[in-house]
Every structure is written in structure tokens, then in C-alpha cells.
Structure 1
Amino acid sequence: MTRAHESPLRVGVFGLLGSGNLGNDGSLQAVLDHLRAAHPEAVVDALCGGPEVVEARYGIPATRLHWYRGEYRTASRAGAIAAKGLGKLVDAVRTAAWVRRHDVVIVPGMGVLEATLPLRPWGFPYALFLLCASGRLSRTPVALVGVGAAAIGNRATRTLVRWSARLAAYRSYRDTLSRDAMRAMGVDTARDGVHPDLAFALPAPPPNPAPGRPGPVCVGVMDFHGGDDDRDRAEEIHRRYLDGTTRFVRALAEDGRPVRLLTGDECDGAVVDAILDAVDSPLVTAAGATSLADLMAEAAAADTVVATRYHNLVCALRVGTPTLALGYAAKSEALMARMGLGAYCHPAREVDADRLLEQFRELEERSAELRRTLTERNRVTARSLAEQFAALDAAVLPAAGPSPGPLTVDTPSHSPDMKETR
């Protein structure tokens, strides 16, 4: 795709960015890194959940996603309900006007086509539909890049998600399950690509030299209450998850293992506090990570990672640390299988601390072998991500003069000079 450059290329990024979810922000960082390398002339701004954070952290102008600031609070009073309803109409106008100002809009990663966590149709699914419909009407291509998708039970949510995908000009997915889910929902996916999660494109810190004795274990926790179809059992699911995870952390501390508790969203802090109160050991500490770079640094310094949130898993696998998934959705199992660790998954809904400890010990016994596996899988991942960015450029990003040169993605390895160049 080419264009005459009477004015700079105008690129918009869209999503629940800057809202406290580290995985979402990591996906944004990966796309911004690509744009700055391949399209340095591009002028980028965002329509997002946390504009103040995005402006401060990434240095791009940002606009609030919703006109009504109480969008994600439950409305019970008549005034709040009326404001929410008015906000839907205002957002339709605001979104259309924002989209028209751009040459292309990118939705960077995230699980925007799934409902594996509690979700209301008139929240983000409606916002995404407005974006894609506005793009089609104004002839501004909307690109869903490396997104997650899953089967959706709620009819209204499923309809909004299906039409959003159909109206997008470009789609790629972070796993085959996502593409299959959209195909099952009636979207033609014949030309849609599957590539690793965008966060794998972020630079990784060097691996930590293997310690002479057992070292720290990172345990990534989540304020987990089940999925969108589990609302009636949400508290029961949360209690089981918290109790099982706490027992596991306590057992590690009793074995003398330092434990670092990781989060992936601001809401996870309550789970960290509950575990710290219950275990009460100086060996158990909270990491306080504020970015995927922080999470990768923690994972690289650990012997082993056991984690629930999807992007906690991505960070650990990216740096080549043996990882066990406390999975809450099929996407976690698909990721682990893709990286060669499919045998090391445990259900977050039914945490069995004893069985989890058995899996953990087996994982550690195979640590050296699994680190070699992850090194090789990260090479393949780097090549696939380079192909995705090339396909994105060809599909929706106008050419901008000479190529900036080959894309280089560092691959974690125990050899410090190893990298993948594409």
C-alpha cells in the first residue's frame, strides 16, 4: 500500500490502554516500537482507557475512550443510568470523529474478541464495534493485530464481536484457537494470520546465570473470579483459587524457597495482600512490577515461574524461564503448547496444591532441558513476529520511503551473543 506524503502518516491506536493492565500496555509498546522503526514519520495518538498514563509513559497524545467517566461502574441510580445511556450516543459521535482523523487505526493485541473474563456487551465490545464501523464508513482501515478471541455465550456480546471482526480491514490472531473461534462465529478467516503474542517482540533482559543452590520462584497471581459465564459461582471460584495458591506459596516458603509474587493488573493487589497475610514469611515478597519489562526482569532472575495471567506467562517464556501455567482459559494452554511446555498446565478454577507441587518439582527437574526448548521456540517466535509486522505494513500501512533495514529481535539464550535477525 502506498500513498503520496503531502502530510505525515496519521496512525491511531485503540484499546483499554493505560488502564492498569500490563499485558495491554506491553502490546501497545510492541506496536509503537515497530512504528518508530519502520515508519518514523508517523504521527501517533491513542483513544484509550487511561489517557493520562499513555501520554506520560509513551509520549503520545491520548483521548479518553468513553465520554462518561463512570462507564465501568455499576449504575443503580436514575441519573447514572441516564448518563450511561447518553454516553453511548456521545461515544458514537466521538469515535467516528476520531477515526476520520487517521490514515489507519491499530488495535494492538489484547483479548478484544473474547469474554474469558466478566464482560458487559455495552462496555468494550460496543466501543470496539463503534471503532470498526466508523473505520468502514470513513474508509479508514482498522487493523486488529495479534488479538485474542474465544467462543462467546452471551448473544449481544457475540454479535458485537462478530461484526467488529467483519468490519476490520486486517486481522491477525495470537493463536490458532482465536482464529478458529472467529471462524465458528461466522467470520471469514481465510486470509487471517496466526502469530505469537505481540509481547514476544519486546526486548528481553539477559538470562540469570544458574545459581549454585535453589533460587527464587516467581508466582504470578490474579484477582480471578472465573469467566463471563461464571458470575453465579464467582466468589466460590475465587475462594478456591486463593486457597490453593496460598497453600502452594506456603509450601515453597516452608522448603526455604524465596517467593516473589507478581501481578498483571492493578486489581491483583488484593490477592497479593491476602497471600502475604496468610503466609507471613520473610521469604515471600511482592515484586511491584509496573510494566512487562519489570515482569521479564523478575522472571529472568527466577529459577522457575508459576503464573495465572496470560502475560505473566508470556514474559516468563520470553526470557526462557521454565514456567508452569495456572490457566484460566484455553489461550494459556495453547501458549504453553506452542512453547513446548504443554504438560505444565494446572486449572486455576480447581487449584490442587499437592498436585501443583508435584508438577512444579517435575518442572524443576527438567529445567535445563526446558530452557533449551524455550531458546529454540523463541527463535521461531521472532521470525513469525517479523512476518506479521511485514504483513501489517503491506496491508494497511502506506510505504514511507526506503526500508529502515532488517528487524532484529533479541532471543533469550544462555549464550549472550545469540540473537534472531530477520
Structure 2
Amino acid sequence: MNTAPRVGVFGLLGSGNLGNDGSLEAVLGYLRAEHPDAAVDALCGGPGTVTARYGIPATRLHWNRGEYRTASRVGAVAAKGVGKLVDIVRTAAWVRRHDVVIVPGMGVLEATLPLRPWGFPYSLFLLCASGKILRTRVALVGVGAAPIRDRPTRALVRLSARLAAYRSYRDDLSRDAMRAMGVDTARDEVYPDLAFALPTPPPGTPNGTVCVGVMDFHGGNDDRARAEEIHRRYVEGTTRFVRALVEEGRPVRLLTGDACDTSVVEAIIDAVDSPLVTAAGTGSLTDLMRELAAADSAVATRYHNLVCALKAGTPTLALSYAAKSDALMDRMGLGSYCHPAREVDPGRLLEQFRALEKQSAELRRTLTERNRLAARQLRDQFAELNAVLFPKTQDAHALRETS
């Protein structure tokens, strides 16, 4: 009897966000280790990148290629409308071909960055509704969630979560947010972010380098009216902090987490104008971790830049743009080293950074302990996935072992 499961992975994967792709990489590592015979493919934002990088077949998430471009002309608006209807059929047809669909990590149940309800929230709803109707198990694995004010977005997110066959979260705040939105979370578990399951690079030789992870930050979904002001203050504050480090003779390595972040890197390099400031070319979370492992310390904004820094064991200060960053830092024992990304105060940031470096040896020991705990907890997460999503495969393995 053939028990090979047909597994789909779903999300804004291969679209330039390193955190999303790192979550995918962690899930693929789990599937290849635990279910090497599984047939895996993706419905995602960047199918060409996913196929080239991870060696799995991939299909474009949206029928309309201009889905994430602003539509003003009548033809473009009409194409978006038609695309929403076509995607109903496309998503259902794709879901039907699978036994299990996994949404790997990502902040799919939050709106901490600008988000329109008829973009990804609508796509996620189509996925979960198709899974429910067609009896394909849809699993939201280690996902992020947050309170959502916009009513259409909140409604789609709540329905998606309710329709999913399995849910787990990357922090308690996420589970609490879904409970507050009316989702029964009694059986939902919390585990560390999936990126903590990726291999850890060896530590580098201390050389005084400070890694600064930047972000093309304009605030969240509720900050649209003051987005440009938030962006300007973030870039100016971060630039002044980098300049202060350079004036002390510290090498600064700028990191990104998404393709859009390069504009901030360029702005800082142009403003500081020093050979001590360089930019790292990173194409994956593994690349990010290598850079961070070689640094003495780090300051980071993007959530998965923080994850990589903490997993690499590097003392890190968070430029926090959402509660998830504060929760992550607290979980890893660095809760007092957070600074608001919306209100960057270079002087205060420099004070916090100096305090961080004074505690460097102690913080590295703390991170070693917390990383060991995270690894154990993620092993529990994958064991739970085996039991919930692949019961037939597990029964077949057990039968072979006893025969």
C-alpha cells in the first residue's frame, strides 16, 4: 500500500522576504527527515525562486500577475477583480491534489505591516475554506498573529484560523490575539519560531564588528496617515546611531531581511560616508546567521533578523516595531534590550547598546541555554505534526517496525 503523503506548502514564499523563506526551509528540512517519500510542491508568491532554491515544483499564488501593484486604470482594476474570482477555482484545484497543506510560520494572522484585506488575507481564506470543503488538512504551523482593527481583514483572518485543521503559534501573544478574535485556541500550542530549527553556524572571531539590521519601515497597518514621518524618523535615528559607532572606530555591517530594505542601506551608507560601513549580501537566513555569528553584537529591526541574531548567540538589541519583537526578546532572556522603532532616540539607543555590550559574556551564556530549550521545543512541534497531520504514515511506520 502506498502511504506517501502529498504535501503542499503555501504562502508568500520566494518573494524576497528571507524570514518567510527561512520558515519554508525549516519545514522542508522536517519533511525530508521525517517523511522523505512525501511529494511536496508549493503555491507561492515566487514560484521560480522556490523551485530553483529548494527543488520543489511551485505554482504562482495569484492568477493576476499585477496583484501587488497599485491599480488605477480601469483595465488593471478589472483584471484584479477577475483574478479574485479565478483564484477561487485555482486554489481549490491545487488544494484538492494534496493530503496536507502546511503554511510554514510567517505572520499570516497579523497586520503589523501595511496590508489590504483582499490581498494575502483573502488568499489565506481561500486556502482554508478549500481545505475544509475538500477535506484536505490545512495546518498553520508556528504562525504569528496580532490584534487587527480593520474589520474586513480581521474577519478574513478569523475565518481562516477557524477553518484550519491545525494551528500552532510562535509566541503566546499570537495565541492570545486569536483567542480575543473569537477563535477556540484550547488545543493550540505555542512553540519557538520555526527558524530556530535551522542549523546554527559556528561563532566567528571577535573583531569589533556591529551588525545593524535595517528595514524599509513605515509603521503598521494603522499608521498609514503618518507612514512617511515614521519612515523618516526611523532612517534618521538609525543613521545617527551608525555614525556614532563609526566615530568610535567600530566597523558596522548593514543587514537586510527583504529586497525592499536596500533603499535604507543605501541611505545610511550615503549619509555616513565611511569605509567602516559596509553592506552584506544575504540571500537566506543561513547567510544572515553567518554574518551575525561573526559579529560582536547586533542591533536589528526585522523580526527574523532578531531570530537569526539570537539563534547565532550574538548579544542583540531590538529596534522593536511590534509586540512580537518584544515577546521574542523576553523569551530569549534579553527583554530589557528593546528600543521603539517608531521613536528612535539615537542617544538613548547608544546608551542601551553600551549596556548590552557590558553584559556580553553573560548574555551569550543565556542565549546558549535558551537556544537549547528552543531546539527541544521544536522537536516536540515536529512530533506533534507527525501525529496530527500524518497518522497513516505513522501507522505504516509502526507496522513495519513490529513486523
CA distance in 2, matches of 1:133, 1:46: 18
Match runs of 1:221-260 below 5 Å: 221-260=214-253
Match of 2:101 in 1: 105
The alignment status of 1:295 with 2:291, answered yes or no, reads no
From 321, 328, 333, the counterpart of 1:340: 333
Match runs of 1:178-189 below 5 Å: 178-189=174-185
SS of corresponding position for 1:156: helix
From 358, 370, 375, the counterpart of 1:377: 370
The alignment status of 1:153 with 2:149, answered yes or no, reads yes
CA distance in 2, matches of 1:204, 1:376: 14
Report deviation, 1:7.
Answer: 5.6
**Could you tell me which amino acid in structure 2 is paired with residue 265 of structure 1?**
D
SS of corresponding position for 2:355: helix
Match runs of 1:106-185 below 5 Å: 106-185=102-181
Deviations 1:175-208 (A, max 9, x none): 0000000000000000000000000000010112
SS of corresponding position for 2:102: strand
CA distance in 1, matches of 2:166, 2:4: 21
Deviations 1:208-228 (A, max 9, x none): 24x3xx510000000000000
**Could you tell me which amino acid in structure 2 is paired with residue 191 of structure 1?**
R
Report deviation, 1:379.
Answer: 0.8
Report deviation, 1:323.
Answer: 0.4
CA distance in 2, matches of 1:169, 1:115: 22
Match of 2:319 in 1: 326
Structure 2 residues not aligned, in runs of 5+: 399-403
CA distance in 2, matches of 1:394, 1:196: 19
CA distance in 1, matches of 2:283, 2:204: 20
SS of corresponding position for 1:203: coil
**Could you tell me which amino acid in structure 1 is paired with residue 189 of structure 2?**
G
Match of 1:391 in 2: 384
The alignment status of 1:83 with 2:83, answered yes or no, reads no
Match of 2:401 in 1: none
Match of 1:190 in 2: 186
Deviations 1:292-311 (A, max 9, x none): 00000000000001000000
**Could you tell me which amino acid in structure 2 is paired with residue 315 of structure 1?**
C
Deviations 1:20-55 (A, max 9, x none): 000000000000000000000100000000000000
Report deviation, 1:392.
Answer: 1.1
Match runs of 1:258-337 below 5 Å: 258-337=251-330
CA distance in 2, matches of 1:327, 1:7: 45
SS of corresponding position for 1:144: strand
Match runs of 1:190-209 below 5 Å: 190-209=186-205
Report deviation, 1:288.
Answer: 1.1
Deviations 1:278-325 (A, max 9, x none): 000000000011100000000000000100000000000001000000
CA distance in 2, matches of 1:402, 1:98: 28
CA distance in 2, matches of 1:232, 1:396: 43
The alignment status of 1:23 with 2:26, answered yes or no, reads no
Match of 1:410 in 2: none
Alignment RMSD: 0.9
**Could you tell me which amino acid in structure 1 is paired with residue 83 of structure 2?**
G
Report deviation, 1:101.
Answer: 0.1
CA distance in 2, matches of 1:379, 1:7: 34
Aligned length: 396
The alignment status of 1:68 with 2:64, answered yes or no, reads yes
Report deviation, 1:6.
Answer: 2.8
**Could you tell me which amino acid in structure 2 is paired with residue 175 of structure 1?**
D
SS of corresponding position for 2:204: coil
Report deviation, 1:397.
Answer: 1.9
The alignment status of 1:9 with 2:5, answered yes or no, reads yes
The alignment status of 1:40 with 2:36, answered yes or no, reads yes
Higher helix share: 2
CA distance in 2, matches of 1:287, 1:220: 10
Deviations 1:350-402 (A, max 9, x none): 00000000000000000000000000001110111010111111111232544
CA distance in 2, matches of 1:383, 1:30: 15
Identity of aligned residues (%): 79
SS of corresponding position for 1:273: helix
CA distance in 2, matches of 1:92, 1:158: 20
CA distance in 2, matches of 1:270, 1:369: 35
**Could you tell me which amino acid in structure 1 is paired with residue 268 of structure 2?**
I
TM (normalized to structure 1)? 0.93
**Could you tell me which amino acid in structure 2 is paired with residue 331 of structure 1?**
K
Structure 1 residues not aligned, in runs of 5+: 404-422
From 36, 54, 59, the counterpart of 1:58: 54
